[in-house]
């Protein structure tokens, strides 16, 4: 019988790519999510019955245990950028990974891959980064041979980075950014999935890997690249940190006084703390080179999904070509 992997958060942005790769490799894939009825799109990744979404609450021992029963490996992709309701940084990113690792060890699961993030550090000022670090420590406590992946900003067709800012250009002549000089090393989502697949199959030695793409650029530089691809001109406004902190405080308070009815999806104080620090691979850290993976460059992927934000969408290139003929 083929081997089984349980992917917690397997319907999310990174998780779905890992699920697809594991199915292609012949594994049975159990996608553990809060709303399996919204994850049915993963089923065609494999043959009938090969990929199955199931209900799981990462905050509950019995739910996590049920999801990993009989699995040969587990992958945890669950993470949040904004706290909402019962989904707090502590419960999701610190306690959740430790719970999965503990129960996996108790049930004889051989391998675990934890999707973390560059900047994960228990002593970080940001709650996001600190709980990512605590989650890593919890995983290594129970599964010392785990593979931990720390990607920089992940890009791909379903990303919430380039898509989000490209969408903003449709409504405003100004593109506000916080931390315009902060450096990032964007990594293609399927490259992260390849690294995770290697961790699941045992092709990657245990340890922590920091994953960054072949190019490093500032936040402002990334926005300029995006604007060039979507053929739009916008003023990139670098918002001073002190103004960003004031705005984030206001948005956070609005969420608090409405008891979460209005969720702060704009800018949080914790995000401002993260945006003040570079998000690039540390010097001397293990990474793609150690895995034998040559990461994909942004220019070979971004146009494939950002074209829809061009003024005329899929017809923009045709209009440009026609304009050149008239000018000729």
Asked whether residue 143 is domain-assigned, the answer is yes
Amino acid 262: pLDDT: 85
Is-contact 207 147, C-beta < 8 A? yes
CB distance 281 to 185 below 8 Å: yes
Q: What is the mean pLDDT of each run of 10 residues along the chain (328 residues)?
A: 94 98 98 97 96 97 98 97 90 98 97 98 97 98 98 97 96 94 98 98 98 98 98 95 95 90 89 96 97 98 96 71 60
Q: 113 lies in a domain?
A: yes
Q: Which residues of 156-169 are buried (b: 16+ CB within 10 A; e: fewer)?
A: beebeebbebbeeb
pTM for the complete prediction? 0.94
11 in a domain, yes or no? yes
Whether residue 231 is contained in a domain is answered as no
What pLDDT score was predicted for residue 260?
82
From residue 186, give the alpha-carbon distance in Å to each of 88, 117, 134, 265: 26, 12, 24, 22
Tally of CB atoms within 10 A around 19? 29
Find the angle CA(102)-CA(132)-CA(28) to the nearest 5 degrees.
55
* 270 in any annotated domain: no
**Structure confidence at residue 204 (pLDDT):** 98
As for how many domains the chain has, the answer is 1
**pLDDT score, position 44:** 97
Pairing of strands 28-33, 51-55: parallel
Residue 204 included in any domain = yes
Examine residue 255 and state whether it is found in any structural domain, yes or no: no
pLDDT at 184: 98
Q: Is residue 127 a part of any domain in this protein?
A: yes
Helix or strand holding residue 129 (H, E): helix 127-142
Rounded to an integer, what distance in angstroms lies between the CA atom of residue 189 and that of residue 159?
9
Q: How much is the pLDDT for 317?
A: 67
Look at residue 325 in the predicted model and tell me its pLDDT: 60
Q: Which domain holds residue 53?
A: 4-156+185-214+279-295
CATH code, domain carrying 148: 3.40.50.720
- Bridge-partner residues for 87, per DSSP? 84
Q: Say how far apart CA 147 and CA 104 lie, in whole Å.
A: 14
Phi-psi region of 131 (alpha: psi -120 to 50; beta: other; left: phi over 0): alpha
């Amino acid at each position: 019988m083929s081997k089984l992997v349980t992917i917690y958060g397997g319907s999310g942005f990174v998780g779905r790519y890992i699920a697809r790769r594991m199915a292609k490799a012949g594994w049975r894939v159990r996608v553990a999510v809060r709303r399996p009825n919204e994850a049915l799109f993963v089923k065609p990744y494999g043959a009938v019955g090969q990929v199955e979404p199931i209900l799981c609450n990462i905050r509950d021992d019995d739910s996590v245990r049920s999801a990993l029963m009989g699995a040969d490996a587990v992958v945890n992709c669950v993470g949040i950028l904004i706290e909402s309701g019962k989904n707090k940084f502590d419960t999701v990113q610190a306690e959740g990974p430790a719970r999965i690792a503990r129960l996996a060890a108790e049930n004889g699961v051989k391998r675990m891959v934890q999707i973390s993030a560059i900047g994960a550090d228990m002593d970080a000022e940001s709650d996001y980064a600190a709980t990512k670090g605590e989650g890593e420590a919890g995983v290594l406590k129970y599964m010392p041979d785990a593979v931990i992946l720390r990607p920089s900003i992940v890009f791909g067709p379903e990303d919430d980075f380039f898509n989000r800012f490209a969408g903003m250009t449709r409504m405003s002549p100004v593109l506000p950014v916080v931390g315009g000089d902060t450096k990032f090393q964007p990594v293609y989502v399927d490259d992260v999935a390849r690294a995770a697949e290697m961790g699941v199959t045992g092709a990657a030695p245990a340890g922590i890997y920091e994953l960054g793409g072949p190019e490093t650029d500032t936040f402002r530089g990334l926005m300029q690249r995006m604007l060039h691809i979507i053929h739009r001109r916008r003023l990139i406004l670098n918002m001073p940190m002190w103004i960003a902190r004031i705005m984030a405080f206001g948005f956070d308070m609005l969420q608090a006084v409405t008891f979460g009815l209005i969720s702060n999806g704009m800018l949080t104080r914790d995000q401002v703390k993260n945006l003040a620090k570079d998000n690039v691979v540390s010097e001397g850290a293990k990474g793609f080179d150690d895995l034998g993976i040559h990461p994909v460059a942004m220019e070979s992927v971004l146009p494939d999904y950002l074209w829809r934000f061009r003024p005329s969408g899929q017809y923009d290139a045709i209009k440009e070509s026609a304009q050149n003929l008239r000018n000729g």
